[in-house]
A and B are shown apart, each in its own frame.
Chain A
């Protein structure tokens, strides 16, 4: 039997990647009959699909975000477990991005394509680490695909935050974090660094923090930041979505030190433009070195690049003798964290 060419069975459609012999999409941006979802971030996991396949963690996150969608068929698949959809054998492997995040390994008549979704390579106390899966085509993100992005060790960044808390005990420290993944990881990292005081959290974070706890990620004492006296926040840590920090919500805080935990904080002018006083370079995406390392680890002779700074990663891959092309998928967030 001839091994089919990858582009003959996985194609780019306006609504996203489509696996023809299985008649399903991966992370489609519009409602489809059957969707395989890599992880729970809103630009990958949308509402309205007829049938959904994902890890138990991702399904729990989607249920928390969208409620239980009526008439939707949900199939949970654990890491490593095979399932056949038509002629396609599908497995999910850890992507190390957020709780439940998975790479989708697709095998069809001897040809294997791995769709990695978003991923990172460094340790994350809230999810299992990325597993390289040998394949013919590796589909990769490129959010931080420029050699200026080299994320420092998390412990250094958490150390900066704790140092500032000690330096300005009279001020609240508000940290802008994405509600899914980043918030819980930052909390876990703080706990690991020995910070055991209660942490105040914005309402938008509460549901997902409770979900992480229920999935076995202990977060320590958390308090809602709702309806409190200003004085209570002095010298305390408050976590909130970045959008709340620059807005009226933050007025309840006494002289807050504004921190944001994001890979974009690496670039000073960007951090400054956003009015950030304490940039923390903590990202759930692979940095340049991790992306390059992953291409080497996976060893695929061809890569497809989904979203981010595609041209730089394509350029690098070609220089390594890897066939590479940008997929030009639409609908993924430029600033996705």
Chain B
């Protein structure tokens, strides 16, 4: 437990992604099996204990600590595992720290009635950090700022592999992943996995820069619309059905309507959309269905899910990924024609003649549901990750607004001494007293380090009010912000929200009176 507790403690305070990776990789290299495998499962969220719930932790603490003192402490600390870890009155014990594997295996083998005594024994043997790690581990949700993917990336880094390689074999593996570590350490062959309905890493596209467009040999490419939903993979194999996000998170729980429609034995790649009467609903509607563990009948009715298919990865047992795009596309069309799964359709191919007509098409694509164009090489196999060259995304030009800086907030990590997060607004005419600024969004990217330094200085010199890490500034600085789309939203006082806003240009020269008005935002909301 000691190395694991030290790892969690270091992770929670490490601000940088690379630092977190370094900590995890070091842990995996220096910790033997099976402890490291259990740690990996804890980090990826694949460890569950049924018998150990927060209520049990409360009950154990209540047996030893005055309830009033515990209540005040919990109010102050705000986190049950941490409160219990700090407040636990140790009783002298000769026991050593348990190994992580010992904890996991004992809990899995224990009957419900045995769990409290097991836990209490460990809590006495551990120190405050050890207790915290143990309680985080068993009550689920480590919250140390590590995604499942980052943990897998750290494992892949041991052998210099790509995370996609680990993801590919992941769903065929079982705890405590000894064959995985043996493989990344070069001591064994790649685990041979019949992955079933496991996740296959997606093939991703690189953005096409405007200057590169002309040098592209367009005859080698196929074009499709880039739909404005979220990329998903639907895997139905051997009676098991799963829907994954692009990073491999299982989102099946939120989409029973899609699961029901997956009457096939295949793995397909597509765009998840909300579709009403054949028309794609705004992204906002799709958002109502995302990040949910369960879904109500009303939501299923109001926001019907649909997948617009791009690709066919597996048809029954056949792995189609080595085939060319053209070959896969043909197979996709034949398969879809034959099986005709409900709640799906095919993303149509767009005839390509030359780059100019594509450019024209892309510029004209003002439909809310289209983000731009995808260009895919006709001869490209389906490769995991983001290989350079075979696939391009060619987004339509962003929308822009001239807005006024209203509040600036301190950044994090390297930026903690800079006011780097900016809330900005547009003018709204009031019945009395002339126009006022109403916030429409927040941006923290799109400027250079030199520009940041200059904005930071400006913010400090024009502060009118402070609220903790936030400074209110006098209206005086205009940003041109770029964003993908505008939506009605109750979250901002203006009644609108922008999607992916970033600073496009800093208009030191522009008088604030000439910044945009609320009507301009309303005009950009697509119907």
Q: Which residues of A contact B (CB under 8 A)?
A: 146-150, 152, 246-251, 258, 266-269, 271-272, 275-279, 309, 311-312, 315-316, 319
A272/B13 contact (C-beta < 8 A), A146-B73, A147-B87 known: yes
Q: Please tell me if the beta carbons of B77 and A148 are within 8 angstroms of each other in the complex.
A: yes
Q: Which of chain A's residues have a CB closer than 8 A to the CB of B70?
A: 147
Q: In this complex, what residue of A is CB-closest to B86? A: A148
Q: Which of chain A's residues have a CB closer than 8 A to the CB of B13?
A: 268, 271-272, 276-279
Q: Is B387 an interface residue (CB 8 A)?
A: no
A146/B82 contact (C-beta < 8 A), A246-B417, A267-B77 known: no
A148/B83 contact (C-beta < 8 A), A246-B410, A272-B12, A276-B13 known: yes
Q: Which of chain B's residues have a CB closer than 8 A to the CB of A148?
A: 73, 76-77, 83, 86-87
Alpha-carbon distance A146/B69, docked complex (angstroms): 7
Q: Is B72 an interface residue (CB 8 A)?
A: yes
Alpha-carbon distance A158/B185, docked complex (angstroms): 36
Q: Which of chain B's residues have a CB closer than 8 A to the CB of A250?
A: 417
Q: In this complex, what residue of A is CB-closest to B75? A: A146
A269/B69 contact (C-beta < 8 A), A148-B83, A246-B417 known: no
A269/B78 contact (C-beta < 8 A), A246-B410, A315-B68 known: yes
Q: Which of chain B's residues have a CB closer than 8 A to the CB of A271?
A: 13
Alpha-carbon distance A275/B73, docked complex (angstroms): 22
Q: Which of chain A's residues have a CB closer than 8 A to the CB of B417?
A: 246-251
Q: In this complex, what residue of A is CB-closest to B65? A: A147
Q: Please tell me if the beta carbons of B82 and A311 are within 8 angstroms of each other in the complex.
A: no
Q: Which of chain A's residues have a CB closer than 8 A to the CB of B412?
A: 275
Q: Which of A146, A247, A275 contacts B72 (CB 8 A)?
A: A146
A147/B68 contact (C-beta < 8 A), A266-B86, A269-B79, A277-B14 known: no
Known pairs A147-B69, A249-B417, A315-B68; list 14 more (Cβ under 8 Å): A146-B72, A147-B65, A147-B89, A148-B77, A148-B86, A150-B128, A152-B128, A267-B82, A269-B78, A269-B82, A271-B13, A277-B13, A312-B69, A312-B72
25 A-B Cβ contacts within 8 A?
A147-B70, A147-B73, A147-B87, A148-B76, A148-B87, A149-B86, A150-B128, A152-B128, A246-B416, A246-B417, A250-B417, A267-B76, A268-B9, A269-B79, A272-B12, A275-B413, A275-B416, A276-B13, A277-B14, A309-B76, A312-B73, A315-B66, A315-B68, A316-B66, A319-B66
Q: Is B15 an interface residue (CB 8 A)?
A: yes
Q: Which of chain B's residues have a CB closer than 8 A to the CB of A275?
A: 15, 412-413, 416
Alpha-carbon distance A268/B136, docked complex (angstroms): 13
Q: Which of chain B's residues have a CB closer than 8 A to the CB of A247?
A: 417
Alpha-carbon distance A309/B69, docked complex (angstroms): 11
Q: Which of chain A's residues have a CB closer than 8 A to the CB of B65?
A: 147
Closest 6 CB pairs of A and B: A148-B86, A148-B73, A146-B73, A147-B87, A275-B416, A148-B87
B84-116 CB contacts (< 8 Å) to partner A: 86-87, 89
Q: Which of chain B's residues have a CB closer than 8 A to the CB of A315?
A: 66, 68-69
Give the shortest distance, in Å, between A108 (CB) and chain B (any CB): 35
Give the shortest distance, in Å, between B69 (CB) and chain A (any CB): 5
Alpha-carbon distance A149/B87, docked complex (angstroms): 8
Task: Place the interface of chain B in its size category.
Answer: 20 to 34
Give the shortest distance, in Å, between B483 (CB) and chain A (any CB): 29
Give the shortest distance, in Å, between A79 (CB) and chain B (any CB): 34
Give the shortest distance, in Å, between A49 (CB) and chain B (any CB): 31
Q: Which of B72, B86, B410 contacts A311 (CB 8 A)?
A: B72
Give the shortest distance, in Å, between B74 (CB) and chain A (any CB): 9
A309/B82 contact (C-beta < 8 A), A247-B417, A268-B12 known: no
Provide the B52-78 mask, 1 if CB < 8 A to any CB of A, else 0: 000000000000011011101100111
Alpha-carbon distance A268/B412, docked complex (angstroms): 17
Alpha-carbon distance A263/B66, docked complex (angstroms): 23
Give the shortest distance, in Å, between A227 (CB) and chain B (any CB): 18
B273-288 CB contacts (< 8 Å) to partner A: none
Q: In this complex, what residue of B is CB-closest to A275? A: B416
Give the shortest distance, in Å, between A154 (CB) and chain B (any CB): 16
Q: Please tell me if the beta carbons of B69 and A316 are within 8 angstroms of each other in the complex.
A: yes
B126-175 CB contacts (< 8 Å) to partner A: 128, 132
Q: Which of chain B's residues have a CB closer than 8 A to the CB of A249?
A: 417
Q: In this complex, what residue of A is CB-closest to B81? A: A268
Give the shortest distance, in Å, between A293 (CB) and chain B (any CB): 14
Q: Which of chain B's residues have a CB closer than 8 A to the CB of A146?
A: 69, 72-73, 76
B9, B70, B73, B410 interface centre (most CB from chain A within 10 Å): B73
Q: Which of chain A's residues have a CB closer than 8 A to the CB of B69?
A: 146-147, 312, 315-316
Alpha-carbon distance A187/B292, docked complex (angstroms): 52
Q: In this complex, what residue of B is CB-closest to A253? A: B417
Give the shortest distance, in Å, between B130 (CB) and chain A (any CB): 13
Q: Which of chain A's residues have a CB closer than 8 A to the CB of B79?
A: 268-269
Q: Please tell me if the beta carbons of A309 and B14 are within 8 angstroms of each other in the complex.
A: no
Q: Which of chain A's residues have a CB closer than 8 A to the CB of B76?
A: 146, 148, 267, 309
Q: Which of chain B's residues have a CB closer than 8 A to the CB of A248?
A: 417
Alpha-carbon distance A10/B454, docked complex (angstroms): 56
Give the shortest distance, in Å, between B138 (CB) and chain A (any CB): 18
Alpha-carbon distance A319/B69, docked complex (angstroms): 12
Alpha-carbon distance A111/B520, docked complex (angstroms): 77
Give the shortest distance, in Å, between A225 (CB) and chain B (any CB): 15
Q: Which of chain A's residues have a CB closer than 8 A to the CB of B78?
A: 269
Alpha-carbon distance A149/B65, docked complex (angstroms): 14
Provide the B464-486 mask, 1 if CB < 8 A to any CB of A, else 0: 00000000000000000000000
Provide the B185-204 mask, 1 if CB < 8 A to any CB of A, else 0: 00000000000000000000
Q: In this complex, what residue of A is CB-closest to B19? A: A277
Q: Please tell me if the beta carbons of B15 and A277 are within 8 angstroms of each other in the complex.
A: yes
